[in-house]
């Protein structure tokens, strides 16, 4: 089960409360004092925010709950992303004071898209300014109408605030429950219309559990993680309404790696959620792409801590040692039907990172490599020409965290230069190219033909075959497909090419052959390398024919400002290339919405206080990509075989 929310809604505090309620800890720790179970990193304790997801486990009513506390700050959304694929259920926390916030929307949208059963916990009912009805209304207007309040709040906004669950005697509750359940249940609708009183309360509760487990409906609980109000009811709700996975212990081994860490001796540790089967120490396992590994140690999350065990089985979360080059997202054993698709927008900033003092580049590269293992989206890359290191980022807080982590864990001081936005390229037309074995300038023992076509916005990259699968060994197709994806990471202007369909139109190879009684002769037979080397050349030619347009990330912004400051704010928006819609004025307050290049959001944020006497509030989130206006930014290339490519392109151009 995951706990998700906008930053500061109270996830970590709630986790602490739940652990206390089930007897895992005797004293409730505090985020503000840096004493919680799940905010265990030095930086988390120092800053009072969660940076990495953390696992704890407890048993309630014979059900083992593996709980993952996640960070809420949008700069760490990648941590949530990695966890989503292993969840059976989720608790979405919303503050009763702040209500529905931008990240709340982003998260529930992803949970619903993935059909993760989710209950909502409206937290902080003890705080002044807390609302109940207003939050419910905001949830149904901004998030989803498929909700049902599970009780009411007494003493709202006071330390003594309490949650009273509804029962069979609350007729308004049972009526509303029947109504929302009937939205997805025609039989219930018919029965209810026929005779309201014929529907038993027990039946409604069973249907509520069934629909919640199918992620059709979201029960809403209220409470306070600080005082503990409503936490017992939430706990009962979790066991009643979220599905317990019946994982098949005797089935084939299947698990997903959702987190990677390093132990004190630098050894790699994989956090795995097991879906089926059992893994023992010394088992040899198929992991991800790169073959078999022997498990050297296992620890399983149990009653708060993780403990050494000889094995781990379906339904448990464990740390595994010995998995070599394991990466986040790898599957252990049989792959569960997972898509590698991302659920949230990728980072939109890129920055050059340099050592501040005498640290050498090698040490920095090593340290960043380790950070990239734990956070692949930072997408560490080196520009071969200028020998600079780049990392991708979501924002300023993540930047500070990387800086401090390098200082604390590796003793390396760094500076960031030139932060720029990360653009993408989309093909503007179609293009095709082919190279046939033995026909110059094709330097490789492979035939590859590829065509490029634009595809729907947001659709990503699709690879199709127009040649029969039987025309060459499957491994060669795999090599071409993988290289296509690799090559598209750097388009004509150096940015990731996306929203396109790549079709393989020609395929051919030289079969394995050798002179009689001699050993296999590589110079006469195709190898995977021939396809991996030829594909970028062919694809680049096709792409040059198609042409691409560079698009930059655009944020949708929401601005609340005093009406009399609209005059000074509007010209600044124009200057920052923002495109606001007509302002909505309500008395002394004014609301503005529109689009703004991601690159300008920081500047707007910086100028806002001076423009609005400190009252303006800006919220923004990535909304999509639009063609860059003005100078086209070019990103330095980091080709894996730049020489081959340059020489080849010269010849292709000469031929053209």
Of residues 18 and 295, the one with the C-beta less far from Mg ion: 18
Q: How far is the CB of 48 from ligand GTP (least distance, A)?
A: 6
- Alpha carbons 432 and 506: distance in angstroms, whole number: 11
Tokens of 573: 């928006």
Sign of CA pseudo-dihedral 470, 471, 476, 481:
negative
Ordered alpha helix ranges (H), 119-170: 133-138
Residue 126 engages ligand GTP in binding (rule: CB under 6 A): yes
Residue 120 engages ligand GTP in binding (rule: CB under 6 A): no
Residues 218-237 that bind ligand GTP (CB under 6 A): 224-226
- Alpha carbons 544 and 432: distance in angstroms, whole number: 9
Residue 33 engages ligand GTP in binding (rule: CB under 6 A): no
Which listed option, ligand GTP, Mg ion, none, makes contact with residue 37 (CB within 5 to 8 Å by class)?
none
Of residues 11 and 82, the one with the C-beta less far from ligand GTP: 11
**Among 1, 9, 181, 497, contact with ligand GTP (rule: CB under 6 A):** 9
Residue 11 engages ligand GTP in binding (rule: CB under 6 A): yes
**Among 1, 4, 5, 472, contact with ligand GTP (rule: CB under 6 A):** 5
Q: x/- contact string, 484-523, with ligand GTP (CB under 6 A)?
A: ----------------------------------------
The alpha carbon torsion through 142, 144, 150, 152 (nearest 10 deg) reads: 20
Of residues 1 and 389, the one with the C-beta less far from Mg ion: 1
Residues 1-60 that bind Mg ion (CB under 5 A): 11-12, 50
Q: How far is the CB of 627 from Mg ion (least distance, A)?
A: 38
CA distances from 288 to 256, 292, 392 (A): 10, 9, 24
Of residues 50 and 123, the one with the C-beta less far from Mg ion: 50
- Alpha carbons 406 and 415: distance in angstroms, whole number: 11
Residues 537-556 that bind ligand GTP (CB under 6 A): none
User: At a CB cut-off of 8 Å and minimum separation 6, what does 146 contact?
Assistant: 180, 183, 216, 217, 218
Q: In this structure, are residues 471 and 526 in contact, taking their beta carbons and an 8 Å threshold?
A: no
Which listed option, ligand GTP, Mg ion, none, makes contact with residue 150 (CB within 5 to 8 Å by class)?
none
Residue 123 engages ligand GTP in binding (rule: CB under 6 A): yes
Residue at shortest CB range from ligand GTP: 72
Q: How far is the CB of 264 from Mg ion (least distance, A)?
A: 25
For the chain, the farthest-separated pair of C-alpha atoms sits apart, in whole angstroms, at 92
Q: In this structure, are residues 420 and 479 in contact, taking their beta carbons and an 8 Å threshold?
A: no
Tokens of 301: 């999350």
Tokens of 19: 């652990």
Segment interacting with ligand GTP (CB under 6 A) among 122-130, 240-248, 329-337, 646-654 = 122-130
Q: CA-based angle 230:235:241, to the nearest 5?
A: 115
Tokens of 186: 């025609």
Residue 7 engages ligand GTP in binding (rule: CB under 6 A): yes
Q: How far is the CB of 166 from ligand GTP (least distance, A)?
A: 21
Residue 124 engages ligand GTP in binding (rule: CB under 6 A): yes
CA distances from 76 to 80, 300, 377, 418, 435 (A): 7, 25, 10, 21, 44
Of residues 74 and 597, the one with the C-beta less far from ligand GTP: 74
Q: In this structure, are residues 229 and 162 in contact, taking their beta carbons and an 8 Å threshold?
A: yes
Segment interacting with ligand GTP (CB under 6 A) among 2-10, 395-403, 423-431, 634-642 = 2-10
Which listed option, ligand GTP, Mg ion, none, makes contact with residue 126 (CB within 5 to 8 Å by class)?
ligand GTP
Residues 48-77 that bind ligand GTP (CB under 6 A): 49-50, 71-73
- Alpha carbons 93 and 43: distance in angstroms, whole number: 23
- The distance from CA 586 to its chain's CA centroid, rounded to whole angstroms, is 37
- Alpha carbons 59 and 303: distance in angstroms, whole number: 7
Cis peptide before 239 (omega within 30 of 0): no
Segment interacting with ligand GTP (CB under 6 A) among 3-11, 55-63, 81-89, 256-264 = 3-11
**Among 26, 27, 32, 418, contact with ligand GTP (rule: CB under 6 A):** 32
Residue 268 engages ligand GTP in binding (rule: CB under 6 A): no
Which listed option, Mg ion, ligand GTP, none, makes contact with residue 9 (CB within 5 to 8 Å by class)?
ligand GTP
Which listed option, ligand GTP, Mg ion, none, makes contact with residue 33 (CB within 5 to 8 Å by class)?
none
DSSP string, 319-369: EEE--TT--TT-EEESPPS-----SSPPP-EEEEEEESSS--HHHHHHHHH
Residue 10 engages ligand GTP in binding (rule: CB under 6 A): yes
Three-state SS at 545: helix
Residue 293 engages Mg ion in binding (rule: CB under 5 A): no
Q: CA-based angle 254:257:260, to the nearest 5?
A: 155
Q: In this structure, are residues 410 and 417 in contact, taking their beta carbons and an 8 Å threshold?
A: no
Which listed option, ligand GTP, Mg ion, none, makes contact with residue 285 (CB within 5 to 8 Å by class)?
none
Of residues 235 and 326, the one with the C-beta less far from ligand GTP: 235
Tokens of 26: 């005797």
Applying CB under 6 A, the residues found at the interface with ligand GTP are: 5, 7-13, 31-32, 49-50, 71-73, 123-124, 126-127, 224-226
Applying CB under 5 A, the residues found at the interface with Mg ion are: 11-12, 50
């Amino acid at each position: 089960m995951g706990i998700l929310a906008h930053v500061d809604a109270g996830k970590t505090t709630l986790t602490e409360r739940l652990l206390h309620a089930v007897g895992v800890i005797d004293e409730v720790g505090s985020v503000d004092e840096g004493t919680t179970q799940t905010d265990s990193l030095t930086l988390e304790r120092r800053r009072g925010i969660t940076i990495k997801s953390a696992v704890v486990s407890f048993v309630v009513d014979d059900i083992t709950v593996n709980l993952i506390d996640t960070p809420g700050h949008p700069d760490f959304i990648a941590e949530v992303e990695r966890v989503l694929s292993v969840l059976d259920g989720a608790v979405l926390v919303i503050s009763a004071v702040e209500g529905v916030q931008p990240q709340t929307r982003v998260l529930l949208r992803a949970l619903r898209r993935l059909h993760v059963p989710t209950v909502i916990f409206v937290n902080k009912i003890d705080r002044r300014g807390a609302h109940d009805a207003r939050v419910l209304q905001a949830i149904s207007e901004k998030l989803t109408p498929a909700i049902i309040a599970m009780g009411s709040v007494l003493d709202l906004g006071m330390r003594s605030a309490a949650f009273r669950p509804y029962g069979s005697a609350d007729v308004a509750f049972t009526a509303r429950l029947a109504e929302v359940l009937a939205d997805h249940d025609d039989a219930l609708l018919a029965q209810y219309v026929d005779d309201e009183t014929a529907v038993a309360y027990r039946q409604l509760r069973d249907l509520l559990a069934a629909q919640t487990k199918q992620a059709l409906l979201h029960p809403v609980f209220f409470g306070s993680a600080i005082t503990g109000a409503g936490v017992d009811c939430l706990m009962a709700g979790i066991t009643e309404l979220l599905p317990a996975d019946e994982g098949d212990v005797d089935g084939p081994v299947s698990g997903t790696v959702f987190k990677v860490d390093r132990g004190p001796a630098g050894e790699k540790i994989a956090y795995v959620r097991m879906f089926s089967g059992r893994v023992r120490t010394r088992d040899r396992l198929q992991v991800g792409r790169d073959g078999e590994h022997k498990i050297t140690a296992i620890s399983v999350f149990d009653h708060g801590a993780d403990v050494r065990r000889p094995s781990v089985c379906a339904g448990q979360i464990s740390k595994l040692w010995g998995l070599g080059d394991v990466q986040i997202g790898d599957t252990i054993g049989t792959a569960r039907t997972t898509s590698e698709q991302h659920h949230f927008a990728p980072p939109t900033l890129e920055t050059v990172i340099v050592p501040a003092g005498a640290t050498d580049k090698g040490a920095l590269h090593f340290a960043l490599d380790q950070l990239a293992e734990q956070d692949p989206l930072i997408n560490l890359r080196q520009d071969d020409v200028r020998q600079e290191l780049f990392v991708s980022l979501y924002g300023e807080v993540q930047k500070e965290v990387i800086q401090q982590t390098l200082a604390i864990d590796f003793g390396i001081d760094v500076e960031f230069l030139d932060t720029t936005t990360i653009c993408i390229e989309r093909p503007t037309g179609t293009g095709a190219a082919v190279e046939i074995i033995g026909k110059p300038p094709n330097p490789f023992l492979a035939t590859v033909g590829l065509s490029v076509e634009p595809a729907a916005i947001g659709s990503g990259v699709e690879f199709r075959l127009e040649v029969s699968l039987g025309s060459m060994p499957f491994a060669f197709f795999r090599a071409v497909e993988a290289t296509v994806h690799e090559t598209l990471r750097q388009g004509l202007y150096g940015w990731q090419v996306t929203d396109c369909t790549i079709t393989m139109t020609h395929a051919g190879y030289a079969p394995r052959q050798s002179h009689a009684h001699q050993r296999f002769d590589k110079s006469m037979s195709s190898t995977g390398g021939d396809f991996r080397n030829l594909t970028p050349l062919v694809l680049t030619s096709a792409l040059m024919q198609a042409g691409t347009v560079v698009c930059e990330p655009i944020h949708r912004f929401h601005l609340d400002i005093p009406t009399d400051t609209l005059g000074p704010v509007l010209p600044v928006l124009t200057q920052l290339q923002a495109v606001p819609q007509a302002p909505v004025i309500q008395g002394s307050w004014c609301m503005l919405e529109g689009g703004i290049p991601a690159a300008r959001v920081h500047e707007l944020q910086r100028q806002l206080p001076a423009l609005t006497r400190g009252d303006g509030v800006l919220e923004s989130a990535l909304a999509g990509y639009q063609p860059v206006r003005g100078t086209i930014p070019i990103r330095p290339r980091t080709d894996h075989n730049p020489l081959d490519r340059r020489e080849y392109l010269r010849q292709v151009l000469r031929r053209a």
